[in-house]
A and B are shown apart, each in its own frame.
Chain A
Amino acid sequence: MMPDELFNWLKANKKKAIIIGCALVIFEGIFLVTLFSESKTSRALELHFFDVGQGDSEFVVLPGGARMLIDGGPANGRVMNELARTMSQGERYIDLVLMTHPQLDHFGGLIDVAKQYTIGAFLWSGRGSNAPAFQELLNELRNNHTQMISLGAGDSIRSNESNITILSPTPAFLHDTDLNNSTVVAEVMAANTSALFVGDIGTEVEEYLTHTFNMRADILKVPHHGSRFSSSESFLREVHPKVAIIEVGKNSYGHPTPEVLSRLSSVGARILRTDLNGAAEIVSEGVRNGIRLIVEK
């Protein structure tokens, strides 16, 4: 039916037209009420491991509803689809966005996120890059007047009973010649569950972490997409994760390497791969209810 036909039909069926008009107004009203009413708060911790191809992107919803996006994967638009799938329609606010380190497979997707979402604060190590894409991200954040906060070892963020502790980088690792070692390492403690987000750290940072902290964690985002230069035996023994998630896509580096897969198996971790299993979601409501694992594909 063409617009003029529709117009004629509406003219001929005035009663129906009035009903349709009223329905539209009511619909708009319901939408506005839902948009401005407070969203239901959950007591659970939600951890989403997005399938963004060869790259990292995780989304954390703390008990109480605070949301943090860790990395945005490469600039292929997939993080936007994942966010739309995870958040309810109309929601365009993320409390915190953490960029672990300035490599394209970790921050590329954040450019679109910065364009389409309002970000409460942008967290990073303070170490940038000369890559044009990174400059584009900085421009976008500056244009939106997004608050940018540099974090390093020893910093922490609290939200109600939840705690996010930054374990690295130390000033030495921040300026390491290997950009991967400048990764912001975050430990999320909420709903009696601990999760480690370690970006692309190599064995040197792993050694530092195991010597300095108690690294035991329920959930581990496996470092550097399963590269054999990370996830050392000693590190995995210390962390002893119940679930290990490898965020990986089609690549020419051989990620995840067989060595890492066997090391993870030897510590008894349940391995999830975004290239094989798709996006993964972990919901924890505390010890009593255990961890609920939802794997998509």
Chain B
Amino acid sequence: MLPYEIFFFGVIFFLGGILAASAGIPPFFVTAFGIVASIFFVVVRIRMKNVRMTWYAGLILFLIMGSLYYRIDNAQFFASPVVFNSPIIFSGVVEEDPVIKESGQEIVVGITLPYHARILVRLPAYPRFAYGDVIHGKGKIQKPSTSSYAHYLEKERIRGTMSFASVEKVGQGSGSSLRASLFEIKHSIMNVFASVLPPEEATFLSGLTIGARGSFSQELKDNMQKSGTTHLVALSGYNITILVSVAMGFLLFLFSRRIAFIVTVILIVLFVMMTGAEASVVRAAIVGFLALLASEIGRVYDIRNAVLCAALIMVLLNPKVLAFDIGFQLSFLALLGIVYLRPALQNLLNITESTTIFSWKENMLTTLAAQLAVTPILIANFGFVSLISLFANIVVLELIPITMGLGFLIVGVSLISHILAQGLGFLVSVFLRIELLLISFFAHIAIPISFKAGVVFTILWYVGLGILIWHYYMDDARRTIQLA
């Protein structure tokens, strides 16, 4: 077995172990299953004299390791005894950039007294708190109300929530100074947008460019969900590609290739940290970094292993993302859909790439591939799929690149002149208005198809997609042989 295959199967088994543990399957069963499977592979190896089976027999140990890794992480997370629904006096530090909502602000506090835990505190809009603030407070920690919310909070490493707390700031600057500076840059960008655009357009542009969507109105969130356009404001490979192409292009003028590469990588890391490191952007950054690295050191870039490597790194850092982070699942499945399903669909529908400035065919194919890849996840989490999303995306995606480009230009120009930035704001506003109008329009005409999808549906769905992809690649291989 070749090294990249060993890596591939090792990671697959490890992630399988994590998934099993996330689903609550006890380590004993996973271990027993691992041992039985291992014996099975050894027997097959002996009977059929297939060397690969020896590898499988060994690599399946990663399944057990994955399960144990999750268990250890879980035990550490719940190690500190938190007392719920009982008044406490606490001290702690604000560990994330506060989220400002219509109803007030939400701060994540790493409390150090009376015990160590991260909690989510909901407070009135004022006084504002900032990352790194040291606080004293009084209140009751509540358990999350539903199991899905509990899982979401666990993924964020949060033990409980606190409302109606009285909190006082007693110090500041306790966090990392690098993160504090990055959050300041993020706020400056948001302030620039707010100073040249109406509030709704400014928040939408902040979402598009730096993924800041905390202050989105409920109406906008609902509209985006109904029209299947929420992904526009989740940072992804698209933003990273823009960042890389602009940064590399600029830096290559000034420095050697090696230095330009290193600086670009640092910029990606800083961008990810600034935007709050949500799953989709971390995934995109790792995959993007591996692509850059492969071209830098002259190795073949294998997208399959790059995606798996990204998943492995993220799961090692936080094993709960695999099962409990919808963003993580959507991001990876959409990427796999675009990489593997898109060419199959293109072939099936007999679509040729367009040569004009408009790329509606490409957008349609990409959306269809990504949408089909994530459908079971959408149904499982939101209870419906939006059939209109294909049309909504074809239309809206045409305008997004220029909107984002103008957004970044506004930030740059505002450093020179506010009036000029206002002029650009006027222009980008036209695009933003059209986009918001389209999102609202498609949300209103959307007929959400709601139904419940169980495990069987999900398995059948992915088996179907798998067959479609397999069929395409078999055909493709046959054609290649014929041509040769």
- Out of B125, B198, B359, B424, which one reaches A108, CB within 8 Å? B125
Q: Contacts A1-B359, A111-B126 given: A35-B422 contact, CB under 8 Å? A: yes
- Interface residues in A, total, Cβ within 8 A: 32
Q: Choose the segment among B17-25, B67-75, B240-248 that binds chain A (4+ C-beta atoms closer than 8 Å).
A: B240-248
Q: Is B481 an interface residue (CB 8 A)?
A: no
Contact B242 A3 (CB under 8 A): yes
- Out of A27, A31, A75, A77, which one reaches B126, CB within 8 Å? A75
Q: Is the interface of A mostly helix, strand, loop or mixed?
A: helix
Q: Contacts A2-B242, A89-B198 given: A76-B102 contact, CB under 8 Å? A: yes
Q: Is B460 an interface residue (CB 8 A)?
A: no
Q: Is A6 an interface residue (CB 8 A)?
A: yes
Q: Is A22 an interface residue (CB 8 A)?
A: no
Contact B102 A77 (CB under 8 A): yes
CA distance A195 to B182 in the complex (A): 49
Q: Is B127 an interface residue (CB 8 A)?
A: yes
Q: 8 Å CB contacts to B: which residues of A14-38? A: 24, 27-28, 31-32, 35
Q: 8 Å CB contacts to A: which residues of B425-473? A: 425-427, 429
How distant is B431 from chain A, measured CB to nearest CB, in Å? 12
Minimal Cβ-Cβ distance residue in B for A23: B427
Q: Which residues does chain A contribute within 8 Å of B197, judged by CB atoms?
A: 89
Contact B422 A3 (CB under 8 A): no
Categorize the interface residue count of chain B: 20 to 34
Q: 8 Å CB contacts to B: which residues of A61-85? A: 75-78, 80-81, 84-85
Q: Is the interface of B mostly helix, strand, loop or mixed?
A: helix
- Out of B128, B200, B215, B241, which one reaches A2, CB within 8 Å? B241
Contact B401 A6 (CB under 8 A): yes
Q: Is B195 an interface residue (CB 8 A)?
A: yes
Contact A133 B245 (CB under 8 A): no
- Out of B199, B246, B401, B423, which one reaches A28, CB within 8 Å? B423
Q: Residues of A at under 8 Å CB distance from B?
A: 1-4, 6, 9, 24, 27-28, 31-32, 35, 75-78, 80-81, 84-85, 89-90, 92, 104, 108, 111, 116, 131-133, 135-136
Question: Can you list 21 A-B pairs, Cβ within 8 angstroms, ordered by A?
Answer: A1-B401, A2-B238, A2-B245, A3-B242, A6-B401, A6-B405, A9-B357, A28-B420, A35-B422, A75-B104, A77-B102, A78-B102, A81-B199, A81-B200, A89-B429, A90-B426, A92-B195, A104-B124, A111-B126, A131-B126, A133-B125
Q: Residues of B at under 8 Å CB distance from A?
A: 102-104, 124-128, 194-195, 197-200, 215, 238, 241-242, 245-246, 249, 357, 359, 401, 405, 419-420, 422-427, 429
